[in-house]
Structure 1
Amino acid sequence: MVPAGSGCRRECSASVPSHHHSHLRIYMASSSPPQSSVFFARGVIARLAYWPALRIAVDQGWGGPESAEKRTWLASVLVDDFEEQIPKPDLDYVEDRLLQVMADEFDTNLEDGSAEAVAKDVIRLWEEVSVGKTELLKEFEERADKLKGKKVDVEEAAGDNSDWEDMSDEEDEEDEVPQLSERPRPPKEEPEVDEDGFTTVKGKGKNHR
């Protein structure tokens, strides 16, 4: 399940062993997975689908030709984490997982706080579907459906006052020459030369030769 050339292969091997998915497929083939697991997987896929940072990375192909597959793989990793780990992953763990995959798979270092927001939503989703609630799942899927087929707006995705946007602005300011505002100057008067060859200079007071 780890994409070819994945930078996360070594670091994630402990939590996502290579033989895990074969066991998961056997389990799913022999019996239907719990309904809560299906809901959770659907919700995670939907939540990642409208995460602006990941949408940009996939749309721009920052993860290579398999960018879309890597997004699906990330969803499966998160689902496996919650299905297998005891105790369940906390906020820091999920956020670190998201940041790690974005860095390793998409060469993107996020400082906009969006990974934390996604992590909070994933944890809320797990808590709700575990007790049979599907309101959050429906919300995520509705939001994801609205964005299907739409190109991502980089400026909108970055968000207002985000660190990502601020960093870009600072870099642009360093590259650009400051534009200074100056008061308008009166036109320069050319000196007048009389018939005798003397130059007349106009001043505020008298004329001088």
Structure 2
Amino acid sequence: MTTIEDFQLGVTACLRSWSALRTAVESGWGGGERESQTKAENLRQSILELLDGKKHPSSCSEYDIADSLAIYMEEEFSVTLEDNSEQQVAAMIVKMYEGLFQGDGRLCQQILSSADGAIAFNTQFPVQIQTTEHDDEDDENMTDATGDAANASITPPPSAISQANRLDEPLFGAPRQPKPQLAPVRQLGETSSPEPAVEVDDDGFAPVKPKGRKRK
């Protein structure tokens, strides 16, 4: 049996494995590193709110989702997709959503269970995008499957795969670090313990108390 959380984790792993989105975020095409990461988070949240497990079939078809993905990438990251990868991502998401209602979570588990599943999805759809983020006249703005190493699909690092098992982790970027343990905060109205007064002699020096001898 598959649950809504399984589907949400599958969507998360699917988006992390999407070469075009990962390239756009890591390149900061959404207005910088943090802004790009935030936009990727917003995309995930929008998909999870649209497909919340309360209605089947969804009001949005696979083609609607694909169009929305393409528009989002163009408007938020200045990226024009040329590899139809948005259709592949949309199809994967819709199939996982259908599996949620059919009690079949195999596709979600396939993406989540191993790095190979995510990498296979990633390498199956190499990056073919055109960005207008920079208006240089050289060919650096064009990325296609026949270009140099920069055009190859980006394989998610192992950390990205492991993060797919946590919905509370960021879609891209470093995992959240636990907050350091701080000393207990004094409550309102609570008095602090006074420091013991130090006795001084007439010359202003604090006397040194001799240590007692240890008994043999």
Q: TM-score, normalised by structure 2?
A: 0.50
CA root-mean-square deviation = 3.2
Does 1:137 pair with 2:108? yes
2:80 to 95, 99, 109: 109
Deviations 1:19-69 (A, max 9, x none): xxxxxxxxxxxxxxxx73212111111100000101100111111222122
Contact 1:57–1:67 (8 Å) recurs in 2? yes
Does 1:165 pair with 2:144? yes
More helix by share: 1
Q: Pairwise mapping of residues 20-59 of structure 1 onto structure 2 (< 5 A)?
A: 36-59=3-26
Q: Distance in 2 between the 1:166 and 1:127 partners? A: 31
2:42 to 52, 70, 73: 73
Q: Calculate percent identity across the aligned residue pairs.
A: 28
Q: Distance in 2 between the 1:144 and 1:41 partners? A: 19
Contact 1:46–1:144 (8 Å) recurs in 2? no
Q: TM-score, normalised by structure 1?
A: 0.51
Alignment match, 1:100: 71
Q: Distance in 1 between the 2:118 and 2:3 partners? A: 24
Q: Distance in 1 between the 2:64 and 2:49 partners? A: 13
Structure 1 residues 56, 37: CA separation in 2 closer, same or farther (over 3 Å shift)? same
Q: Distance in 1 between the 2:118 and 2:57 partners? A: 35
Q: Which ranges of structure 1 fall in alignment gaps of 5 or more residues?
A: 1-34, 170-209
Structure 1 residues 98, 36: CA separation in 2 closer, same or farther (over 3 Å shift)? same
Q: Which ranges of structure 2 fall in alignment gaps of 5 or more residues?
A: 129-141, 149-216
How far did 1:86 drift? 6.7
Runs of 4+ in 1 over 6 A off after TM superposition: 144-147, 166-169
How far did 1:132 drift? 2.3
Contact 1:50–1:144 (8 Å) recurs in 2? no
How far did 1:130 drift? 2.0
Contact 1:40–1:125 (8 Å) recurs in 2? yes
Secondary structure at 1:158 match in 2: coil
Structure 1 residues 70, 143: CA separation in 2 closer, same or farther (over 3 Å shift)? farther
Alignment match, 1:128: 99
Structure 1 residues 144, 166: CA separation in 2 closer, same or farther (over 3 Å shift)? closer
Secondary structure at 1:109 match in 2: strand
Contact 1:63–1:107 (8 Å) recurs in 2? yes
Q: Distance in 1 between the 2:126 and 2:45 partners? A: 24
Alignment match, 2:168: none
Structure 1 residues 144, 50: CA separation in 2 closer, same or farther (over 3 Å shift)? farther
Q: Distance in 1 between the 2:6 and 2:12 partners? A: 10
Contact 1:41–1:76 (8 Å) recurs in 2? no
